[in-house]
Amino acid sequence: MPPNADPEMLAGHVLAVVQGMSTLAKDGANRNKLLRIVEGCMSAWPHTLHQGLIRIYLPDFLAEK
Q: What is the predicted pLDDT for the residue at 3?
A: 78
Q: What is the predicted pLDDT for the residue at 35?
A: 85
* Confidence tier at 10 by pLDDT (50, 70, 90): confident
Q: What's the mean pLDDT in 20-42?
A: 90
What distance in Å separates the CA atoms of residue 34 and residue 40, rounded to the nearest whole number? Answer: 10
pTM exceeds 0.75, yes or no: no
Please, what is the end-to-end C-alpha distance for the chain in angstroms?
Answer: 30
Average pLDDT value for the chain: 76
Q: What is the predicted pLDDT for the residue at 52?
A: 54
